[in-house]
Amino acid sequence: MDGEHRIILNVGGIRYETYKATLKKIPATRLSRLTEALANYDPILNEYFFDRHPGVFAQILNYYRTGKLHYPTNVCGPLFEEELEFWGLDSNQVEPCCWSTYSIHRDTQTTLAILDKLDIDAEKPTEEEIARMFGYEDAYLEDSLNAWQRLKPKVWSLFDEPYSSLGAKVRIFVSTLLFSSEVFHPYLYIFIYYK
């Protein structure tokens, strides 16, 4: 009699056994709607097979059992979110003890999306915008820029935009090298002096 109420789930090669009633605890999810007519049911083995992450599924099945959804720290946030979506679970159900760890990836994704929208590298200012920025737009429009007015934006980008050119990258490297030598020089002096 008990065998009629038990169900075997093979997730990523790991077999899980639970009761049908356990899976009905959270309605309108993939596991609550399991029937033998589904394509992933194997009548010979009497199990349902899902080619999904078994480690995450252990937490998902535990959620059905206990009503508490915990975030496994051995997987990344997007993977966990993808698994929750596949199983039809709401990510807002993550327990408060795990929420800060889980939500870090969401904050990171939001920040990265904002940075992608900025697309700083693709939007370099035009020569006219540069001339306007340095206050010699009239000379630019009249095509009467002197040598300093042509050189000034290049010098500015050399110091203000460290990845704008090879020269800027060399300047950053040399600056870092000099700064590092200034920081480590006293320690080197003490090391040599007391040796």
In a domain, 132, yes or no: yes
Domain at 25, CATH number: 3.30.710.10
Q: Are residues 138 and 87 in the same domain?
A: no
pLDDT score, position 102: 84
pLDDT score, position 189: 78
Task: Give me the chain's average pLDDT, please.
Answer: 86
Q: What is the CA radius of gyration of the chain?
A: 31
Percentage of the chain with pLDDT > 70? 94
End-to-end CA distance of the chain: 83
In a domain, 115, yes or no: no
Q: Are the C-beta atoms of 121 and 112 separated by less than 8 Å?
A: no
Matching residue, tokens 């078994």: 54
Q: Are residues 57 and 90 in the same domain?
A: yes
Q: Are residues 64 and 136 in the same domain?
A: no
In a domain, 55, yes or no: yes
Domain count within the chain = 2
Tens digits of per-residue pLDDT, 115-139?
777 655 556 777 778 778 888 888 8
Range of the domain at 62: 6-104
Q: Are residues 42 and 100 in the same domain?
A: yes
For the CA atoms of 152, 156, 162, 166, the dihedral, rounded to the nearest 10 degrees, stands at 0
Of 94 and 115, which is predicted with more confidence? Answer: 94
